[in-house]
Chain A
Amino acid sequence: MKPQYKHELMTSFLLWFDHELLQEGEAYSNKTGQLYSKSDSRIPDSYSAFQSNYKQWVSDSSVTGPTNPVIPTEFNGNSRSNDFIFDFENGRIIETGGATISTDITGTFAVKDFNVYLTNETEEDLILENKFQINSRYGDLSMSGIDPYDQVVPAIFLNSEYMRNEGFAFGGEDLTKNIIKAVVISDSEYQLDGALSIFADAARKTFSKIPFSDHPSTEYGDVKGGTYNYLNLSNSHSSEIPYFIEDVTVSKFSERAQSRLPGNLKVGFIDFDVSTSRFPRS
């Protein structure tokens, strides 16, 4: 099946959301650390993966702050030109064959304060299953290890279950309304409040439609062409009708509900009412 309206909405929203959080909240920190050899059955046998202690890394070069995020382009002289892939999604590099690898790879990279994921899981599964590792807590991977595709918190999970077309104008134009729900899982009240505050202020903002073909990531989590700049990508689609964030509601778990949760995670919710005008029957 070719990508449909909802696919495009969710990927466009994810890119905007990630940029907004990083830029408005300066929600990243630069880390220097070792990368550890880590097997991965999903990549070809001839490839070798080297995992950092953190995921996800920042790849968006349009994010600026008092200290700009470090977006790595090489580790110990190993770069894309030496057949390396930078997997920003999983916080690792992948050697694709040919290079002689030192097992002692170190480097500097920017780590997101909140990982951002699209999910189809229900809120109760996300929150009550207590299945996440915490980004700032898991230690030496060579000792403890974490699987490459595990989701870690602090994280924000995005999901959209509601969509409705309402008549908008003569000629078959509809207003398509969606509700996008974000579950924020954090290990600190301060971080949780920060994320909720940033997105409460996002009401009445717009974000660009980014077609699937222009999605910046490759299948291995690297960025196409070696660089990714959200603002440039967004501006290149500014002639299209954008998505409009009509309203945003934020909420934290009530104190009573919080006390019933497993572990010490702090939970909040952000509900976005998003609309755009389109011709769904043409």
Chain B
Amino acid sequence: MILTSSNISQINRQVPKLARGQVQKQFAPAFQKLKNKMIAEFLNHPVTLEIKGGTSSDNISGTLAGATNLFSFIGFESGSDPTSAIEKILSSTNFRFSRTTRNSVEFEIDMPEAAEIFAATPMPWAPGRSWAKGIETGISGLGYYLKISKDSSRSGLGIQSPRKVRKSGSKFKNTQYISALIKKYQKEFANLQL
């Protein structure tokens, strides 16, 4: 059979389509590897580790100068795991076929925005606020002092003034958390190639 320029052109157009399935098979593990890396980075972030540690955790994130830990400072209910909502959202990161071009097969990555995570991480004492955003921009000690007041009331001591119980250096120090993670992996996913 003699290949005319028209035949060659048709084959050229069909090759990427035929290759799509093969490329997708190779792309999936590379994507999964990067997704796992992102989730692992989140799970190993000092803030995540500290909150997962609950009321007995040390202040390994350094955000409170060791005065207490983040779980107690934010005022989470004992036994809860506030970070699981973030892990679930990050786990929903996925990809889908986008289009084939002359030389490539392209996929779209569906990954959460920081705003989506902020909406899913309500402050225990003010549900419209996000504790995850607060890690980046500042959190007041209200949750901590309300918790103290609750415990004191139970023992008949009444509410304590924050001025009286605040230790020197216990002011919250902001640190990078979700926004930086999302920004970093948006870039890495965008650059993912076989």
- In the complex, how many angstroms separate the beta carbon of A139 from the nearest chain B beta carbon? 26
Give a binary string over B94-134; 1 marks a CB under 8 Å from any A CB, 0 the rest: 00000000000000000000000000000111111110000
How many residues on A have C-beta within 8 angstroms of the other chain's C-beta atoms?
A: 25
B125 x A254 contact (CB < 8 A):
yes
- In the complex, how many angstroms separate the beta carbon of B136 from the nearest chain A beta carbon? 8
Contact segment of B12-20, B26-34, B140-148: B140-148
Known: A129-B161, A262-B159. A257 touches B126 (CB 8 A): yes
Known: A124-B141, A249-B129, A252-B128. A129 touches B162 (CB 8 A): yes
B149 x A128 contact (CB < 8 A):
yes
Which 5 pairs between the two chains have the least Cβ-Cβ distance? A251-B128, A123-B140, A257-B125, A124-B162, A251-B126
Expressed in whole angstroms, the Cα–Cα distance for A257 and B10 within the complex equals 69
A122 x B162 contact (CB < 8 A):
yes
Q: Contacts of A251 on B, CB cut-off 8 Å?
A: 123, 126-129
B140 x A122 contact (CB < 8 A):
yes
Task: Return the contact of B138 from the options A129, A130, A179 (Cβ within 8 A).
Answer: A179
- In the complex, how many angstroms separate the beta carbon of A38 from the nearest chain B beta carbon? 28
A250 x B128 contact (CB < 8 A):
yes
Q: Contacts of A129 on B, CB cut-off 8 Å?
A: 161-163
B83 in the interface (beta carbon within 8 A): no
Known: A251-B128, A254-B127. A127 touches B142 (CB 8 A): yes
> Of residues 116 to 138 in A, which have CB atoms within 8 Å of B's CB atoms?
122-125, 127-130
| Consensus secondary structure, chain A interface | mixed
Q: Contacts of B145 on A, CB cut-off 8 Å?
A: 124, 128
Q: Contacts of A123 on B, CB cut-off 8 Å?
A: 140-142
Give a binary string over B144-159; 1 marks a CB under 8 Å from any A CB, 0 the rest: 1110011001000001
Expressed in whole angstroms, the Cα–Cα distance for A249 and B124 within the complex equals 15
Expressed in whole angstroms, the Cα–Cα distance for A124 and B160 within the complex equals 11
- In the complex, how many angstroms separate the beta carbon of A282 from the nearest chain B beta carbon? 27
Q: Which of A162, A250, A252, A271 lies at the interface centre, i.e. has the most chain B CB atoms within 10 A of its CB?
A: A271
Expressed in whole angstroms, the Cα–Cα distance for A65 and B127 within the complex equals 34
Give a binary string over A232-258; 1 marks a CB under 8 Å from any B CB, 0 the rest: 000000000000000001111110110
B152 nearest CB neighbor, chain A only? A260
Q: Contacts of A130 on B, CB cut-off 8 Å?
A: 159
Expressed in whole angstroms, the Cα–Cα distance for A130 and B163 within the complex equals 12
B146 x A257 contact (CB < 8 A):
yes
Q: Contacts of A260 on B, CB cut-off 8 Å?
A: 146, 149-150, 153, 159
Expressed in whole angstroms, the Cα–Cα distance for A252 and B122 within the complex equals 12
B24 in the interface (beta carbon within 8 A): no
B138 nearest CB neighbor, chain A only? A161
Give a binary string over A90-134; 1 marks a CB under 8 Å from any B CB, 0 the rest: 000000000000000000000000000000001111011110000
A269 in the interface (beta carbon within 8 A): yes
Expressed in whole angstroms, the Cα–Cα distance for A76 and B149 within the complex equals 50
Q: Contacts of B140 on A, CB cut-off 8 Å?
A: 122-124
A247 nearest CB neighbor, chain B only? B115
- In the complex, how many angstroms separate the beta carbon of A260 from the nearest chain B beta carbon? 5
